[in-house]
Amino acid sequence: MFGLFRRGSDGNGAKPSLDDVRFDARGYTPQGEPQPGKVRVWHTPEGDGLGVYYFPVSPDLPSTASSVDDLAAFYVQLLGESGGKLVDVNVTIAGGCPAVCTILSVPQQPSGRTYVGSLTVPFRDFSFVIKCQCAEGGTTGLKEALLFDRSQAANVPMQIDVGQFHIPSWDPDAEKYDAEFPAHPVARARRVLAHVIGSLVVAAEVKKLPGFALPQ
């Protein structure tokens, strides 16, 4: 059984709406529409927030992106000097539509990171965005410290960059660590996005509307 989406018109010239997308929301707790017609919200069983957004304007994605690397550069530029990090970006198919899937990491106060996973389903004149927000709780940084210690024990060489030591190609947010640290917010974000992508349904009438070109 899908979430509480219903199509509210006969489709004859109707504008797209939140009712035109749905996904398997079993086990999620509905939180209503904080902005009626614009966003619907759930809480996941792990306590993370999940929202479905409808934006009735052209997507703010770069129309000239010819590769996933171009999309990555776009998101890195958006993050700027905020301390945020682009964790993942890829182009996928969700609900029969091309979509952009991203995970961003942003600093929390006083410590830790919040991971924001987004699935953007863009069309020429509008878009749907399914977004989850997964915060790091408790004692932060334990995963990173453990993986760092492990790399040191394995004698992985370190380098100095801009006056700081770092390990080349070391990425504690890499997907390969999700099974070992399933409660970490980046693993939770990936699970939610995978679930949404795997169960997303987009109304047939909407899929006939002009699309938005994404790189392959």
Render pLDDT for 128-185 as a digit per residue (tens, 0 to 9). 999 999 999 888 888 888 887 777 666 656 555 545 545 666 789 999 999 999 999 9
Q: How much is the pLDDT for 8?
A: 38
pLDDT > 50? residue 1: no
Q: How much is the pLDDT for 163?
A: 52
Q: E strands, the chain, where?
A: 21-22, 29-30, 39-43, 49-55, 85-94, 97-107, 113-122, 127-135, 159-161, 164-166, 201-202
Instruction: Tell me how many domains the chain contains.
Output: 1
Q: How much is the pLDDT for 164?
A: 53
Mean pLDDT over 87-106 rounds to 97
Identify whether 71 is part of a domain.
yes
Identify whether 143 is part of a domain.
no
pLDDT > 90? residue 106: yes
Mean pLDDT over 193-216 rounds to 96
Q: How far apart are CA 85 and CA 182, in angstroms?
A: 20
Identify whether 186 is part of a domain.
yes
CATH number, domain of 37, equals 3.40.1000.10
Identify whether 30 is part of a domain.
yes
Q: Which domain holds residue 198?
A: 18-138+182-207
Identify whether 11 is part of a domain.
no
Identify whether 59 is part of a domain.
yes
How far is CA 31 from its chain centroid? 19
pLDDT digits 0-9 by tens, 11-64? 445 689 999 999 999 999 999 999 999 999 999 999 999 999 999 999 999 988
Torsion, Cα of 77, 135, 110, 81 (10° steps): 0
Mean pLDDT over 57-77 rounds to 95
Identify whether 162 is part of a domain.
no
Identify whether 161 is part of a domain.
no
pLDDT > 80? residue 119: yes
